């Protein structure tokens, strides 16, 4: 029993050390690749119920996407920001980002993106009990 306890403590110490101080170093010559990395890490953080850290990455990705003027990536980032804000129950801000995403989706003719974003927009309005 004592050996089992020691082995368990060993694995717990390894896993806690691996999770400490995650450094983000996305210095890449390709900003689109960096945006993709930010989006992936933000998705991982959201799935771990850490929307604040996810939002920090998403806001950085938004700035990069605006800089490269890639409407597809910008749309994806704004949609994900809306989702992260909705996870934090900040539905007013989420609505703003969902509306921005809908406008961009219309520009790039992403009809499925428009439909999905309208669905989430409706849920956000329902949560604040406002029905436009």
Cα 31 from Cα 44, distance rounded (Å): 20
Number of domains in the chain: 1
What is the structure's pLDDT at 27?
52
pLDDT of res. 15: 43
Domain of 63? Answer: 29-127
Does residue 76 belong to any structural domain of this protein?
yes
- pLDDT tens, residue order, the chain (132 aa): 555 445 445 445 544 444 434 445 545 567 888 888 999 999 999 888 888 999 999 999 999 999 998 899 999 999 999 999 999 999 999 999 999 999 999 999 999 999 999 999 999 999 998 666
Residue 59 has a pLDDT of: 95
Whether 89 is covered by a domain: the verdict is yes
CATH number at residue 36: 1.25.40.10
Report if residue 132 sits inside a domain: no
Using a cut of 0.85, tell me whether the model's pTM lies above it.
no
Please report whether residue 12 resides in a domain. no
- How would you label 44-64 residue by residue, b for 16+ Cβ within 10 Å and e otherwise? ebbeeeebebbbbbbebbbeb
């Amino acid at each position: 029993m004592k050996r089992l306890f020691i082995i368990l403590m060993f694995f717990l110490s390894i896993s806690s050390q691996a999770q400490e101080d995650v450094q983000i170093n996305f210095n890449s010559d390709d900003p689109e690749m960096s945006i993709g990395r930010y989006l992936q890490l933000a998705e991982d953080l959201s799935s771990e119920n850490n929307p604040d850290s996810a939002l920090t990455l998403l806001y950085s990705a938004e700035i990069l996407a605006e800089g490269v003027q890639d409407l597809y990536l910008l749309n994806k980032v704004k949609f994900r920001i809306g989702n992260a804000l909705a996870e934090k129950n900040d539905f007013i801000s989420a609505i703003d980002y969902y509306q921005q995403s809908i406008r961009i989706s219309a520009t790039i003719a992403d009809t499925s993106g428009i439909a999905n974003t309208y669905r989430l927009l409706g849920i956000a309005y329902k949560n604040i009990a406002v029905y436009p």
